[in-house]
Amino acid sequence: MNTKTFIVTLLLPLLVFARDTEALFLKKLHTFITKQESVEYAHKQIQDLKSPFRIDAVEFLREIKDVHSIPFLQKFMRDKDLNTFVIYALGELQAYEVTQDLID
């Protein structure tokens, strides 16, 4: 088995799992009627440290450009599991008010 085959064999299940969790998260979001309900659900998933949907929830808030979630996301900038995704989301949301926190 060469190195490429080994890497693909190792990473493929992880990619499939990531896609499946995103699909499950989006399926759950479709059960809500209003945007506010979906945003509140995303907030709950981010706060739940055991949730498999934490990253998907941050990505959801970024994709819908929910600027009202900026203060909420700012609290998770130092979270070791989410910090990269939160910082990217804050940049996409053009959250200028968190610039000083990003510099620190």
Cα gap 39→42, rounded to integer Å: 5
Q: What CA–CA distance (Å, rounded) separates 46 from 6?
A: 33
Q: What are the average pLDDT values for consecutive 10-residue runs of the chain, which has 104 residues? A: 47 48 78 87 94 92 92 91 90 83 72
| pLDDT, tens digit, 9 for 90 and up, residues 74-95 | 999 888 989 899 999 998 888 8
* pLDDT in the model for residue 71: 93
Q: What is the pTM of this model?
A: 0.74
Distances from the Cα of 72 to the Cαs of 17, 56, 58, 80, in angstroms?
27, 15, 10, 16
Domain segments of the chain as ranges? 3-103
Whole-number Å distance between alpha carbons of 54 and 52: 6
| Spatial CA neighbour of 66 closest among 100, 29, 31 | 29
